[in-house]
Amino acid sequence: MADAPSEKKRILVVEDDAALSMALSVKLKEAGFEVFIASDGETGFRMAEEKRPDLILLDLILPRKNGFKFMEEARSKIDLKNLPVVVLTNLESSYDIERALTLGATAYLVKANYSLSEVAKKIIQIFAK
């Protein structure tokens, strides 16, 4: 029997800090999303190809494949190049922001400046567009 189509939007969180990904997961599930977590860049990339999420929340400093490399490679994949990527990091130099936006990031959020509710709100806004 085929699975019933899920109405829940699927979000892949690529974050190496377990405390942060856990908090994000709780909040995003509360907000009605289905959440997958990857703790390094390579696993995240593989999961992005397998799970086909509707949006990726991506940290920049990650083991095994950093966020910039992740976005670069995602751009060259037909399945992933149009996927919204929200960068969620504590890096904040104009160089990092410009580089992420050039690589196609939909939004650039600095973790320390956003509450969990604000992150969830931002994602809802992106889906609403």
**Which C-beta is closer to other proteins: that of 9 or that of 99?**
99
Please check whether residue 58 is in contact with residue 16, taking contact to mean a CB–CB distance below 8 angstroms: no
Residue written as token pair 């190049």: 81
Cα–Cα dist 115/39, whole Å? 21
Binding residue (CB under 8 A) for other proteins from 40, 42, 91, 104: 91
Cα–Cα dist 42/66, whole Å? 9
Binding residue (CB under 8 A) for other proteins from 52, 117, 124, 127: 117
User: Strand 34-38 and strand 55-58: pairing?
Assistant: unpaired
Copy the structure tokens of residue 23.
């908090």
Which of these ranges, 36-44, 63-71, 78-86, 111-119, lies near other proteins under the rule CB under 8 A?
Answer: 111-119
Annotate each residue in 5-44 with x if it binds other proteins (CB under 8 A) or - if it does not, as one string: ------------x-xx--xx-xx--x--------------
Please work out the total of residues on this chain that contact other proteins, with binding judged by CB under 8 A. Answer: 28
